[in-house]
Amino acid sequence: MLRPKPITPDEVKRHNLARVLRHLHEDGELSRSDLVVLTGLNRSTIGALVSDLAESGLVEEVPGMGGSRGRPSLVVRSKSESVFVLAFDLRVDRIVAAAIGLGGEVLAHIQRPRSNGPYPVEKAIATILDETNELFEALPTGALWAGVGIAVPGVVETELGFVRKAPNLGWIDLPFGELIHGAIKEHFGVCPRVVLGNDANLGAIAEYVRGGATAASSVVYLSCDVGVGGGVVLGGQVLAGGSGYAGELGHLVVNPHGQPCACGSKGCWETEVGRDAILGAAGFNLGQDSFPELLDAAKSDPEGMAAKLTEVGEWVGVGLVNLMNSIDPNYIVLGGHLAEIYPYINEVVERRISQSRPNIKTRANISLPSLPLDSPLVGAAEMAFGPLLLDPLQHVEQIYSLV
């Protein structure tokens, strides 16, 4: 057994710097007085911490909107435009990328299409390098590059940057974080830390930190690109599970007599409400290309589409009931294709939930994604800011300036 070490003044300072910077990153501009109230630290300590952060180029003090008499009062803000991370989201039909500033401001946002199906790793790396290049052109000289975050549709070892399996990409046991780090370093000379996360987990984090779920103690995000992925955030933390496989919600068995699933089971949530099940139910050809056609058809005949998707709605409802009766989240976000078809299935879904949870107070709030960018991309940026937010001054020495 190890004896816990006593806490040093340096550690206290590091902890307090981290608290102040996180407030500015998540809550936006704050006065020194706001920071005193939020942290419980005294005014002179806050003054010293703000000076340290300003000296490192992470925050600045500018005149605020308040101050009724005389000169306007100062507010502290994170330097969104000059401290940034790059975030990527590997989707089934495109690679989305953004440069996001400290504080959450979107500095630049682009995407490249990719062909459906397995994605050769070299192509993924080339696309990310290419997007990195384009994002850099949109950023000011001297901006500080604090990290890289990548949302992966699969099972990921976040700490190791390792993809265990990503069926939509055709990847198994791939050290993708290391490969990207190496490629960026070779191409651009430097590369800050690269972190990977499961796309649904990152979606849940984004909704919790910056979306509609900021007041929710428990959030589930369903990322639906081809299949169904799940992310669970409890009290602000991703639920990893005993073996790292929590939130594999696409493999909840909703219809034991349903279609066989690639996982070996049958009637999994994703075989019943995945993209192809929806296309099939609506009488379209399978595959990504048909989905926009389906949405067009739904727009011209909403009632007809609702009728065709009744059974899909039932299965969506059964899965949601099972989430409410196990995890009981107070906020569930339907992402991807479920968000797109929700207007045509919502009545069936609501009815199915009411059967199991007659008391409306015990039902989760069912929502669509609430952020202007896609939620996993925003979550990837939050994850990439993690090391800087945990230990600002230590980390600032490891970040790079764009010349």
Residues in contact with its own copies by the rule CB under 8 A: 1, 3-5, 36-38, 40, 216-218, 230, 232, 234, 239-249, 251-257, 263-265, 314, 318, 321-331, 355-358, 361-364
The smaller minimum CB distance to its own copies, of residues 11 and 293, is found at 11
Tell me the closest approach of the beta carbon of residue 141 to its own copies, in angstroms: 39
Tell me the closest approach of the beta carbon of residue 403 to its own copies, in angstroms: 42
Tell me the closest approach of the beta carbon of residue 161 to its own copies, in angstroms: 20
The smaller minimum CB distance to its own copies, of residues 51 and 355, is found at 355
The smaller minimum CB distance to its own copies, of residues 104 and 247, is found at 247
Tell me the closest approach of the beta carbon of residue 177 to its own copies, in angstroms: 22
Tell me the closest approach of the beta carbon of residue 185 to its own copies, in angstroms: 33
The smaller minimum CB distance to its own copies, of residues 310 and 362, is found at 362
**Size of the chain in residues:** 403
Tokens encoding 97: 């990328």
The smaller minimum CB distance to its own copies, of residues 252 and 306, is found at 252
Tell me the closest approach of the beta carbon of residue 273 to its own copies, in angstroms: 13
Tell me the closest approach of the beta carbon of residue 327 to its own copies, in angstroms: 6
The smaller minimum CB distance to its own copies, of residues 318 and 341, is found at 318
The smaller minimum CB distance to its own copies, of residues 182 and 244, is found at 244
C-alpha distances in angstroms, 264 versus 170, 223, 319?
17, 21, 19
Picking from 147, 57, 61, the residue whose alpha carbon sits closest to that of residue 99 is 147
C-alpha distances in angstroms, 167 versus 118, 177, 178?
8, 17, 20
The smaller minimum CB distance to its own copies, of residues 12 and 126, is found at 12
Tell me the closest approach of the beta carbon of residue 43 to its own copies, in angstroms: 12
Contact 104, 364 (CB under 8 A): no
Task: List the Cα angle 335/338/344 in 5-degree steps.
Answer: 140
